């Protein structure tokens, strides 16, 4: 059967994803993974002596994605409730007569679909993690470059005290590094699924556990100690990692959007052709910030669906398993788009130190009230120092009001007051914290490659034969 032509790009889906990740999530990618699972099943059966080698080779030869049409398999799946049943029917018809009894030997539909979804997630994680690494590299550059760039820290929506843009970028960096580490671990632990109808491996007799190990090895996936038909922790770990990635990128996007507001103007997104308005020629909207914020807000619902579906009954679920498929793919799609756009947003970010300093100075030193109170506290006590500074802060000229306080002048000189009002002197351990974030990033970069590629016993994409045959 010849595959149908590819559909045109959706008008909206491209705004939430990225092409290289989405290429591993579409119908053809899932079909390839399903066929990879069927081919690995035949190979594993031959390894343990349950299938004739000739039958296994014939099954593998027919597990080629171009032979099957997702557009036909989709409607056919409705009768059985999953796409594996019609695919196995077509695969059985495609192989030579002597091999037909050995197609899908000992497995159930959930074994193949769960395994295929593990493969899809691992393959999509390759480009996704590269985008995340690019975003982390860009955040690290910002942290290094702007280590001493003064700006206002804001708490509860209000101007609070001085900080540096380098420390803000370092916070973004740590969130990205941690998200990449969690996702790498979750993908490395994703197992193949093989249990047969009720998780007893009855179709393989005493060879069942070895069959599981060989099946997983051929796919480059982890081998689960027991079938996980209704024990969904592997997918929950993946969902949590993807949700955490969306939270980390969403926080960055929200910060950038707020800092780019006209009244603030401390950063702007790069790209002269991006961010235009259909109505207002002067507008330069922070479009990547907007799009990442949008997908980050969709993430919790999808994560919640996967966790809600995880309470599954007995040995095989009625509906809980089925509820996972699309949310998992959608969550991976959103994470890919968020990682790619965050990388672009940070790499091209226009940072404006002069505007940061102007905003910092606009309050006439009020942001250093804590610093003045800290200098007075040893002499007056914390409560009295706090009250004195609060009184001065209520007057129009904060510095003059401070110097007019006799209790202050008894302990602090005018030079002492000016030193307390210097924002560069009230940064605490900001520089050291930036260094710690950069060290974490360097350690993560030097560590094992976080590519989440399958383990290397089997070739990736067994359905299409040797690696060089893969698209």
Q: What is the pLDDT of residues 395-437, one digit of tens each?
A: 999 999 999 999 999 999 999 999 999 999 999 999 999 999 9
pLDDT of 263 reads 94
Tell me the mean pLDDT in the region 104-125.
Answer: 98
Of the pLDDT bands very low, low, confident and very high (cuts 50, 70, 90), residue 467 is very low
Closest CA to 200 of 224, 226, 234, 233: 226
Q: In 330-340, which positions are buried (b, 16+ CB within 10 angstroms) versus exposed (e)?
A: bbbbbbbbbbb
**Of 4, 277, 413, 429, which is the active-site residue?**
277
Quote the distance between the C-alpha of residue 467 and its chain's center. Answer: 27
| CB-CB contact of 339 with 128 (8 Å) | yes
CA 228 – CA 234 distance, rounded (Å): 9
**Of 43, 147, 232, 316, which is the active-site residue?**
316
Cα distances from 62 to residues 333, 362, 409, 425, in angstroms, run 30, 72, 90, 71
Tell me the mean pLDDT in the region 444-452.
Answer: 62
pLDDT of 286 reads 84
pLDDT of 465 reads 38
pLDDT of 223 reads 97
Q: Does residue 165 carry a pLDDT above 90?
A: yes
Tell me the mean pLDDT in the region 122-142.
Answer: 98
Percent of the chain past pLDDT 90, that is, above it, reads 87
Of the pLDDT bands very low, low, confident and very high (cuts 50, 70, 90), residue 455 is low
Lowest mean pLDDT segment, chosen from 179-193, 280-294, 340-354 = 280-294
Q: pLDDT digits over 179-227, tens only?
A: 999 999 999 999 999 999 999 999 999 999 999 999 999 999 999 999 9
| CB-CB contact of 184 with 129 (8 Å) | yes
Q: Does residue 4 carry a pLDDT above 80?
A: no
Q: In 45-79, which positions are buried (b, 16+ CB within 10 angstroms) versus exposed (e)?
A: bbbbebbeeebbebbbbbbbbebbbbeebeeebee
> pTM of the predicted model, to two decimals?
0.90
Q: pLDDT digits over 300-320, tens only?
A: 999 999 999 999 999 999 999
pLDDT of 282 reads 54
The residues, any chain, with a CB within 8 Å of residue 155's CB and separated by 6 or more, are none
**SS3 state at 7:** coil
CA 366 – CA 49 distance, rounded (Å): 79
Q: Kindly report the average pLDDT of the chain as a whole number.
A: 91
pLDDT of 12 reads 82
**SS3 state at 157:** coil
Q: Does residue 294 carry a pLDDT above 60?
A: yes
Q: Does residue 470 carry a pLDDT above 60?
A: no
Per-position DSSP letters for 239-286, written without gaps between them? HHHHHHHHHHHHHHHHHHHHHTSTTT-SEE---TTSS--SS-TT----
The residues, any chain, with a CB within 8 Å of residue 354's CB and separated by 6 or more, are none
Cα distances from 390 to residues 387, 413, 415, in angstroms, run 5, 19, 20
CA 115 – CA 219 distance, rounded (Å): 9
CA 45 – CA 106 distance, rounded (Å): 9
Residue 277 annotated among the catalytic residues of the structure: yes
> Which has the higher per-residue pLDDT, 230 or 6?
230
CATH of domain 15-357+434-454: 1.20.200.10
Residue intervals in the chain for CATH 1.20.200.10: 15-357+434-454
């Amino acid at each position: 059967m010849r595959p149908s032509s590819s559909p045109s790009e959706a008008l909206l889906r491209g705004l939430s994803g990225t092409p290289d990740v989405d290429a591993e999530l579409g119908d053809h990618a899932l079909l390839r993974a399903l066929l990879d699972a069927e081919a690995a099943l035949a190979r594993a059966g031959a390894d343990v002596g349950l299938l004739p080698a000739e039958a296994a080779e014939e099954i593998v030869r027919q597990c080629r994605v171009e032979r099957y049409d997702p557009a036909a398999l989709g409607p056919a799946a409705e009768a059985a409730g999953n796409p594996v049943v019609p695919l196995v029917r077509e695969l059985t018809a495609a192989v030579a007569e002597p091999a037909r009894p050995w197609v899908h030997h000992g497995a159930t539909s959930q074994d193949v679909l769960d395994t295929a979804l593990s493969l899809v997630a691992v393959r999509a994680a390759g480009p996704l993690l590269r985008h995340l690494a690019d975003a982390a590299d860009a955040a690290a550059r910002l942290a290094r470059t702007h280590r001493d760039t003064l700006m206002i820290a804001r708490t509860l929506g209000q101007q609070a005290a001085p900080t540096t843009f380098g420390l803000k970028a370092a916070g973004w960096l740590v969130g990205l590094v941690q998200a990449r580490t969690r996702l790498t671990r979750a993908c490395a632990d994703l197992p193949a699924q093989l249990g047969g109808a009720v998780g007893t491996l009855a179709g393989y007799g005493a060879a069942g556990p070895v069959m599981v190990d060989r099946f997983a090895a051929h796919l480059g996936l982890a081998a689960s100690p027991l079938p996980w038909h209704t024990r969904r922790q592997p997918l929950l770990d993946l969902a949590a990692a993807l949700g955490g990635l969306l939270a980390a990128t969403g926080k960055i996007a929200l910060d950038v959007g707020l800092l780019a507001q006209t009244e603030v103007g401390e950063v702007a997104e790069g790209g002269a052709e991006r961010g235009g308005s259909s109505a207002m020629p002067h507008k330069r909207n922070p479009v990547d910030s907007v799009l990442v914020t949008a997908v980050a807000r969709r993430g919790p619902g999808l994560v919640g669906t996967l966790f809600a579906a995880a309470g599954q009954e007995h040995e095989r679920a009625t509906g809980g398993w089925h509820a996972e498929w699309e949310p998992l793919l959608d969550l991976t799609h959103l994470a890919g788009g968020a990682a790619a756009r965050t990388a672009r947003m940070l790499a091209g970010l226009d940072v404006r130190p002069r505007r940061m300093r102007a905003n910092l100075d606009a309050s006439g030193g009020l942001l250093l009230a804590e610093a003045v109170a800290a200098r007075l506290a040893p002499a007056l006590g914390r409560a009295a120092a706090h009250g004195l500074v609060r009184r001065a802060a209520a007057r129009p000229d904060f510095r003059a009001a401070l110097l007019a306080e006799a209790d202050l002048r008894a302990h602090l000189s005018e030079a002492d007051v000016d030193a307390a009002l210097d924002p560069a002197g009230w940064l605490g351990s900001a520089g050291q914290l930036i260094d710690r974030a950069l060290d974490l990033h360097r350690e993560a970069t030097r560590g094992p490659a976080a590519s989440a590629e399958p383990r290397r016993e089997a070739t990736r994409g067994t359905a299409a034969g040797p690696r060089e045959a893969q698209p």
